[in-house]
Chains A and B, each alone.
Chain A
Amino acid sequence: MDDIILKVENISKQYRLGVIGTGTISHDLNRWWSKIRGKEDPYLKIGDTNDRSVKGKNNYVWALEDISFEIKKGEILGVIGKNGAGKSTLLKILSKVTSPSTGIIKSRGRIASLLEVGTGFHPELTGRENIFLNGAILGMTKPEIKSKLDEIIDFSGCMRYIDTPVKRYSSGMKVRLAFAVAAHLEPEILVVDEVLAVGDAEFQKKAIGKMQDISKGEGRTVIFVSHDMDAMLKLTKRCILLENGRVKENGATGKVVSKYLSDQSVEKSTLQWEKEDAPGNQFAKLLKVSVLSDDNSVKFNFDLTEKVFIEFEYLDLNEENKNTAILHIINEFGTTLFASNEFDNPEWESYHDQKTSKIITKCAIPGNFLSEGMYSVLVAVGSYNPSMVHVKIEGALNFRIINNPDILKTQKNVGGKWPGLIRPMLKWTIEKEGI
């Protein structure tokens, strides 16, 4: 109980859609009229779920609905969700930029936000002056900033330009400076939104490291919002998934992230085209790709032990070179596990004799090899020497590997997700010596 630093209870936020300014006075009067009669706000009752893509029935929506969670001291909490899921609204409420329509947030520490870095930077002021201004906007006092000035300048890596007006800075430098100021803030809770999207790789690494230091070494709490799942996995242990203004998942980051990613993809087990509109060029046209099980039926969910077959059907029109089907297997975190080529078949050359034909080829991915999770397949047809890609479709297919304990015969361990990107069954030799 005592180590809970922030408690969010049933927070909701209502917004009015459409053109602000038409009818607001009448609505305001209506509100005021029901208020003096001691009635409820008439517009707080009607409200749709916040789904961006569906046309709503009325002009009021709940951007957030009944959000509750707790954060422990020193924890980094991630918040993920699609655009418009309510992430920014939540952060705005947390950082007191706007207030909730209902609900309450209780906090044991000061909250400082970094909703977009460089807030309040004035282009005419120098870097140094902006450090002071920005720091003060974020809630630091002048002596506090002064004592950390050298550290901030050093962290930003903008020493050379520190007395140059910020308008001469590159956008990356501005971000560095701004993040440096924010990272040296003193508040117990830091709210960070999408900072890592900018800045070069070196700085991103530095920023991630600093955020880890903040929570581990200095015991401060961070709420981190990003679309960068990689950074999310690196930084946070716990994560909240927002969907249409509600908390959909709240748990270990790995689980929540994969849930989020798999939610986004629909089952794509087969793709087929007519000859006329088949994707490709004059060398090759893709007719059909599918994920098959060993009985040649289209399948989405595979058991750990099962073989997964990826089948290609394409028109080989290449009269100059030998075509090959290519596939990439990409896991739910966006990492390409491996690529494979049709030319791995020893008789490949004999099938591609520079005559127009239809090729049907199938790649077998062994069972007991991929670990559990969602996979997407990039399919392509190309030729080598010179390298040419005739057709390429990212995320053309997908499938899921599940660990079904009922039919688990070969793999003995069941509990939980295994570490590692793949989960191969390898040969172990055992010897036993009597002592």
Chain B
Amino acid sequence: MKQTKNTWLFEISPKKNLFAFDFREIWRYRDLLLLFVKRDVITLYKQTILGPLWYLIQPLLTSVIFTLIFNSVAGIKTGEIPPFLFNLTGVTAWNYFKDCLTNTADTFKKNEHIFSKVYFPRVVMPMSVVISNMLKFGIQLLILTFFYLYFVFYQGYDIQPNIMLLFFPVLIIIMALLGLGFGMIISSMTTKYRDLSFLVTFGVQLLMYISAVVYPLEVIKEKAAQYAWIVEYNPMTTIIETFRFMMLDQGVFTLNWILYAILISGLVFLTGLLVFNRTEKNFIDTV
């Protein structure tokens, strides 16, 4: 009895174990996570005219332009699949990853005013971003489905989803982890070295071109064989190709390859968590 009285609930000290994650604490703040999601959803399109329509316009226009440039002008072949649908599929998946990454990459900077006042597990913030982006992703998936059905029933294309579509949620999680992981790493680094934030938009754009969004993997293997490995070892290529394989039954898919993607995104996520965890304690002094 005496002993229990003398134990402290917690201690605040300068040293922090690199691997000290308090997952119970994050769980305790789950309501906050959901409230942040709710806040993001409610406030994102307040006082805009088109509101959530922006969710639709952006991928559609991007796909139209990609189709014009890469398929009509550059002549990239997309096999049986209509180029527009091919691009829309790639863009939809890519957008989710991109949003996860870019919206979490400025976590510390954007929330400085909150972080400098109150403590809560900082990781709740990027996590909420990843979840609220899912809503946007969901809406964009509906659009994709709409065009999918349009091409099947009105244009008479013979496209069928693959049975692997059942594993679609796994794919989303991989994407979320990868985007979140990179986002957390970048956000931690930008607290000290601001230059990185300039790199993000630019870098993400470049990354898209080596992620097989606008071309099938086979095409690059054919046409630029010596660089194909860059695309091939990029876990986002795996995700995009797998997504197209699930939706359109076209593309490269092997179990090893998807396991590789899972492994990489797991590693990136853990690294992100570590770096983030290290940064959150003192970032307010350096930001």
Query: Residues of A at under 8 Å CB distance from B?
Result: 1-2, 7, 15-16, 20-21, 24-25, 92-110, 112-113, 115-116, 119-120, 122, 124-125, 129, 132-133, 136-142
Contacts and interface: CB of A to CB of B under 8 A. Distances in A.
Given A21-B193, A99-B13, 8 more contacts: A15-B285, A96-B119, A104-B11, A107-B10, A116-B117, A124-B43, A125-B42, A136-B35
B281 A105 contact: no
Contact of A99 (B6, B12, B29, B113): B12
A160 B14 CA distance: 46
Given A98-B281, A113-B119, A137-B118, A107 B12 contact: yes
Interface in B18-38: 28-29, 31-32, 34-36, 38
B223 interface: no
A92 B39 contact: no
B114 to A, nearest CB: 5
Contacts of A93: 12
B187 to A, nearest CB: 17
Contact of B9 (A98, A102, A108, A125): A108
Contact of A105 (B13, B35, B117): B13
Contacts of B12: 93-94, 96, 99-100, 104-105, 107
A95 B119 contact: yes
A122 B43 contact: yes
B226 interface: no
A108 B46 CA distance: 43
B159 interface: no
A321 B21 CA distance: 79
A108 B282 contact: no
Given A20-B286, A97-B115, A125-B42, A137 B120 contact: yes
Given A21-B194, A105-B13, A97 B43 contact: no
Contacts of A116: 117
B192 interface: yes
Contacts of B42: 124-125, 129
Contacts of A101: 14
A125 B13 contact: no
B9 A110 contact: yes
Contact of A133 (B5, B35, B119): B35
B13 A98 contact: no
Contact of A97 (B31, B118, B194): B118
B191 to A, nearest CB: 10
B94 to A, nearest CB: 29
Nearest to B5: A2
A98 B284 contact: yes
A122 B11 CA distance: 32
Contacts of B192: 21, 24
Given A2-B5, A105-B13, A136-B35, A99 B281 contact: yes
A119 B193 CA distance: 26
Given A119-B114, A137-B118, A98 B285 contact: yes
17 contacts: A1-B6, A20-B286, A97-B117, A99-B12, A100-B14, A103-B13, A103-B14, A106-B10, A107-B12, A116-B117, A119-B114, A120-B114, A124-B43, A125-B43, A133-B36, A136-B35, A141-B28
Give the interface centre of B43, B113, B119 by most chain A CB atoms within 10 Å: B119
B167 interface: no
A123 to B, nearest CB: 9
B271 to A, nearest CB: 18
Contacts of A99: 12-14, 16, 281-282
A105 B11 contact: yes
Contacts of A102: 14
B116 interface: yes
Contacts of B5: 2
Q: Which 7 pairs of residues, A with B, have the shortest CB-CB distance?
A: A96-B119, A136-B32, A105-B12, A119-B117, A106-B8, A142-B31, A124-B43
Contact of A136 (B31, B117, B119): B31
B132 to A, nearest CB: 13
B46 A124 contact: yes
A132 B35 contact: yes
A68 to B, nearest CB: 14
Contacts of A25: 193
Interface string B116-140: 1111100000000000000000000
Contacts of A133: 35-36, 39
Nearest to A139: B120
Nearest to B28: A141
A142 B31 CA distance: 6
B114 A98 contact: no
Interface in B132-154: none
Contacts of A107: 8-12
Nearest to A120: B114
A119 B120 CA distance: 12
Nearest to A126: B42
Given A106-B8, A137-B118, A100 B13 contact: yes
A241 B167 CA distance: 62
